[in-house]
Amino acid sequence: MAPETPQEVRENLMAHRTAIGLIGCGFFAQNHLHAWNDLKPEGADLVAVCDIEPSRARAAGEKFGARWYTDAMEMLDKERLGLVDIATQVSTHLALTEMTLARRIPTVVQKPFGRDIAEKLQHMGAVHKPPSVVGVFAADANA
């Protein structure tokens, strides 16, 4: 069988959509929202957003066509997500990552991973419990 062409690879990927949930709709999350929207042609479907501030959650949901929540656990329980993007304050990263990993949902976390070395090590311990897939997102505004 001949190797797939780049076009065949893209078409195969397009056939497999990934439901994305974003936790956090504040300042830095706006970049995440636009990035997921830009990746829609590649198979990323932003289906749910969550923020503890209802007006931010509602605004993001309405702007990007996603269901919106004010409680992360409720969103994780109600949605069938293929990936969760955590773009909240660093103080919430560990607890939110533990919630997503408990549900075996691959997760991307806005940097930094933790507030101090102890929290980062705790985070790494949670990440290394199989099966888990976690990435740390770092955007360079100057790129």
122 touches 114 (CB < 8 A): yes
How far apart (Å, rounded) are the C-alpha atoms in residues 46 and 92?
21
How far apart (Å, rounded) are the C-alpha atoms in residues 72 and 97?
11
4 touches 65 (CB < 8 A): no
Q: What is the pLDDT of residue 142?
A: 40
What tens digit of pLDDT does each residue of 39-55 get?
999 999 999 999 999 99
104 touches 78 (CB < 8 A): no
| CA 32 from centre of chain | 8
What tens digit of pLDDT does each residue of 1-13 get?
555 666 665 566 5
For the full predicted model, state whether its pTM sits above 0.85: no
Q: Is the pLDDT of residue 36 over 90?
A: yes
